[in-house]
Structure 1
Amino acid sequence: MKKIALLVLVLFCGTSNAQKKKKSTTNPIVAVIITKTENLTAEVIKPNFYIFRNENSIKKDTLLLKAFSSSITPTDCVIKKFVTKSTPLYYVSWTEKMNSETKLKKETIVVTNVQIWNPATKMQVFSNTQTSTNIKEQVFLDKNKTASETQERNRNEGYNFTLLPTGDFTLKNKAVESKYNLNTVTMKYELPQKSADVSKSSKKKKK
């Protein structure tokens, strides 16, 4: 009986230690605070990027901005509260940086993201993405590849976003600049109706 009791005790201790080891290897969920302003924080709980509204250290509201791959972390994040047409809104911007490199070519890609949210409805009312790519490439000058030079070029895609003090914003590239304001009926940013009418009439005149 003593031998049996001793064997049971040994098995119990072994099982208990194994459970403790399993628990210790479990990775806890880690929230990384990217930036904060007043009672708002932008946090990454991988793979998701959130905005939290906090009251007395308790997270009350949650807005999911984006899901990231494990290799990307948002940087240069900015959060602003503003009011336009009596509507409180949140402005959020951040950048994502990616590198791609081979023996002959290196690309640095910077993606600038802008989102505007209505905290009352938890709805996104606008988003914009602008991509800037810097390319450095070794180019051979002859068929035998005995001489080469490094060439550098930049490529831009999308629109440059500028938030105005009124709560309106502009989108601009090399060809066009447009100003948007909030439509309080649809709760979306749109081109003013007058601007749309003017652009239509100008097209008709050209015809």
Structure 2
Amino acid sequence: MLCKVRCSLRSGRRLLKYLGLQKGIRLLSYGTAAVKAEETIHPKERPCSDALTWVSDYAPCFGIHGNSVEILNTPDEFYQTLKTNFKNAKKRIVIASLYLGTGQLEQDLVNGIEYACERAKSSGNKDFEVHILLDYNRGSRGGDVSSRTMLTPLLERFEGMVQVSLYHTPDLSGYLKQYLPPKLDETVGVQHMKVYLFDDSLVMSG
């Protein structure tokens, strides 16, 4: 069963750990980009611009070499990058997104994750793990066919290897939750990260 989770400092730190964002590393990235995590640099080697130091007071900030960033210019390039790397992942897959979707393109992404899980299972790779974070309300839109139901087969087939978490904003509660209809309840607040990690490569989308 999928369950609702509320964001906390502890879960936030755990997500950063899954993303491979280690303490002492800083990153500033704009737009949709693919980043190789092993090429990150320590802030003492090349500190962030003084004009941007305030960012680290509100969110993690990670510094990287410019030549380790590849810009994905088209939606198809972005999609094919996800599809290929999900299928080829050998250590981990991490997704943090508003929702997944229910079309054939999204099913192909799920199939790629399933392929990677099946390969890890058949080869005895017990360290392989998949972590997916979606917004509860947006990920549940559609009822019988939703982002949640798209991922249910992965949970059933690969118990212990695949984890799906759903963020529910604490601002939507009480009478608001009781009376606001679907779609409109999403205006109260959603989890809207767009982060995709496969092994040591990271894709961030704007």
Q: TM-score, normalised by structure 1?
A: 0.23
- Whose strand proportion is higher, 1 or 2? 1
Q: TM-score, normalised by structure 2?
A: 0.23
- Whose helix proportion is higher, 1 or 2? 2
Determine which structure has greater relative contact order: mean sequence separation of CA pairs < 8 Å that are 6+ residues apart, divided by chain length.
2
